[in-house]
Amino acid sequence: MKTCSRLAVCILLAALPALAQLTENLHTPTDAPLAAASSQPQAASLPQAPSVPAAPQPAPVAAPLTIKDAEALAIKNNPAISVARLSALASQETTREVRSALWPQAVANFTGVDAHDDSRISAGSLNNPIIYARAAAGTTVSQLITDFGHTSNLVAGAHLQAQAEAQNAMATREQVLLAVDSAFYGALQTHAVLRVAEQTVASRQLLSDQVSALTRSKLRSDLDLSFANVNLAQAKLLYLDALNNDQAAMSAVSAILGYPSLQKFELLSDPEPAPPAPADVDQLIAEASSKRPELLAVEFQVRSEEKFHRADRDQFLPTISALGAIGDAPYRDDRISSWYGAVGVNVQIPIFNGFLFSAKSRESELQTEAARQRLTDLRNRVSRDVRTSWLNANTAYDRVTVSQQLLAQANQALDLAQTRYKLGLSSIVELSQAQLQQTQAEIGSAQAGYAYRLALADLLYQTGGH
Q: How does pLDDT run across 119-140, given as a tens digit for each residue?
A: 888 777 777 678 888 899 999 9
Q: How does pLDDT run across 399-412, given as a tens digit for each residue?
A: 999 999 999 999 99
Whether the Cβ atoms of residue 346 and residue 301 lie closer than 8 Å to each other:
no
Q: Which CATH superfamily is domain 71-114+132-462 in?
A: Outer membrane efflux proteins (OEP) (1.20.1600.10)
Mean pLDDT for 299-318 is 95
Which residues of 45-126 form beta strands (DSSP E)? 63-65, 105-113
Grade residue 466 by pLDDT with cuts at 50, 70 and 90: low
The pLDDT of residue 44 is above 70: no
Q: How far apart are CA 167 and CA 230, in angstroms?
A: 57
Q: How far apart are CA 171 and CA 292, in angstroms?
A: 8
The pLDDT of residue 19 is above 80: no
Grade residue 32 by pLDDT with cuts at 50, 70 and 90: very low
The pLDDT of residue 11 is above 70: no
Give the percent of the chain with pLDDT over 70: 86
Amino acid (1-letter code) at residue 333 = D
- Report which of residues 188 and 426 the model is more confident about: 188
Cα-flanking dihedrals φ and ψ of residue 236, to 5°?
-65, -40
CA-wise closest residue to 222 among 2, 230, 195: 230
Q: How does pLDDT run across 372-394, given as a tens digit for each residue?
A: 999 999 999 999 999 999 999 99
Span of 271-275, 314-318, 439-443 with lowest mean pLDDT: 271-275
Q: How far apart are CA 397 and CA 391, in angstroms?
A: 10
Residues 296-318, buried b or exposed e (16+ Cβ, 10 A)? bbbbbbbbbbbbbbbbbbbbeee
Mean pLDDT for 429-447 is 91
pTM above 0.85, yes or no: no
- Count CB neighbours of 15 within 10 A: 10
The pLDDT of residue 460 is above 70: yes
- 351 to 95, 144, 419: CA distances (angstroms): 29, 20, 100
Tell whether the torsion through CA atoms of 361, 365, 366 and 367 is positive or negative. positive
pLDDT the model gives residue 174: 94
The pLDDT of residue 42 is above 90: no
452 Cβ contact partners less than 8 Å away, ≥ 6 residues apart: 274, 393, 396, 397, 399, 400
Whether the Cβ atoms of residue 159 and residue 95 lie closer than 8 Å to each other:
yes
Whether the Cβ atoms of residue 174 and residue 293 lie closer than 8 Å to each other:
yes
The pLDDT of residue 417 is above 70: yes
Q: Which residues pair with 100 in a beta bridge?
A: none
Burial of 132 (0-12, 13-18, 19+ CB in 10 A): middle
458 half-sphere exposure, CB direction, 13 A CA radius: 21
Q: How far apart are CA 466 and CA 460, in angstroms?
A: 6
pLDDT the model gives residue 187: 95
Residue-averaged pLDDT of the chain: 85
Whether the Cβ atoms of residue 241 and residue 214 lie closer than 8 Å to each other:
no
pLDDT the model gives residue 128: 67
The enclosing H or E element of 340 equals: strand 339-348
- Let me know how long the chain is: 466
Extents of the domains making up the chain: 71-114+132-462
Q: How does pLDDT run across 147-205, given as a tens digit for each residue?
A: 999 999 999 999 999 999 999 999 999 999 999 999 999 999 999 999 999 999 999 99
Residues 424-463, buried b or exposed e (16+ Cβ, 10 A)? eebebebbbebbbbbbebbbbbbbbbbbbbbbbbbbbbbb
Please give the angle made by the CA atoms of 400, 441 and 211, to the nearest 5 degrees: 160
pLDDT the model gives residue 63: 85
pLDDT the model gives residue 3: 40
DSSP, collapsed to helix, strand or coil, labels residue 26 as: helix
